[in-house]
Amino acid sequence: FDKFDRAFAEYFDGVEAIDLLSEMQRQALPQDWLRKEFEKHLSEEEKNRVINMLSSFKNDVEEKGLSFASKAILYSQDPGSRANGGKYTLHRKRPRMVKEFRDVAYRLKENEVSEPFETEFGWHIVKVDRIRGQEVDVRHILLTPEISPDAMAEAKKKVDLIRKRVVDGELTFQE
């Protein structure tokens, strides 16, 4: 199961035994769920804004000689690598990154910067610093599209409606 499935299952766990009003007042929907719903309706404008920003970073590194690590520290939205300049060491036999990320990283040569690409976490560019046999040192910059308050409210409304329909017996988990 992915992160969305686990969050969905947790949110609906014990749904048959809850006091609906107090439970709905107590719990806020996880932002992950709302982001998944929002991403279905992501505007081309916002998507292009993120891609253009990453393309600009790539150009700054390749054409102007600016530091990829500095760009990652300043702009990356990956809390796990931002502080160390976006650095990760990938092990071919011990994958820990999502497949899309690994596929892009392993195709690059040393000092090559990828084109922007998308994963479930957002949009990335990756630079390979060093290849040592089965290990590849990479740096990356992650950007996630901005979610407008209106889009977030609409996504929350849809998830709340699904939950209400399950609680009211109109839907089952199999549906």
> What does the alpha-carbon distance between residue 111 and residue 132 come to, in Å, rounded to a whole number?
13
For residues 109 and 128, the answer to whether their CB atoms sit within 8 Å is yes
Asked if residue 128 has pLDDT above 90, the reply is yes
- DSSP secondary structure letter of residue 97: S
Asked if residue 93 has pLDDT above 50, the reply is yes
Output phi, psi for 21, to 5 deg: -65, -50
Q: Is 127 exposed, middle or buried (0-12, 13-18, 19+ CB in 10 A)?
A: buried
Question: What is the pLDDT averaged over residues 81-105?
Answer: 93
Nearest CA to 92 out of 128, 131, 134, 129 is that of 134
In which band, very low, low, confident or very high, does the pLDDT at 107 lie, cut at 50, 70 and 90?
A: very high
Give the other-Cβ count within 10 Å of 114's Cβ: 19
> What does the alpha-carbon distance between residue 27 and residue 25 come to, in Å, rounded to a whole number?
6
pLDDT at 168: 80
The tokens of 76 are what?
A: 């990356």
DSSP characters for 7-40? HHHHHHTTGGGS-HHHHHHHPPPPHHHHHHHHHT
Residues present in the chain in total? 175
pLDDT at 173: 56
Between vectors from CA 80 to CA 74 and to CA 83, what angle results, nearest 5°?
Answer: 35
Residue whose structure tokens are 């308050």: 149
Asked if residue 21 has pLDDT above 60, the reply is no
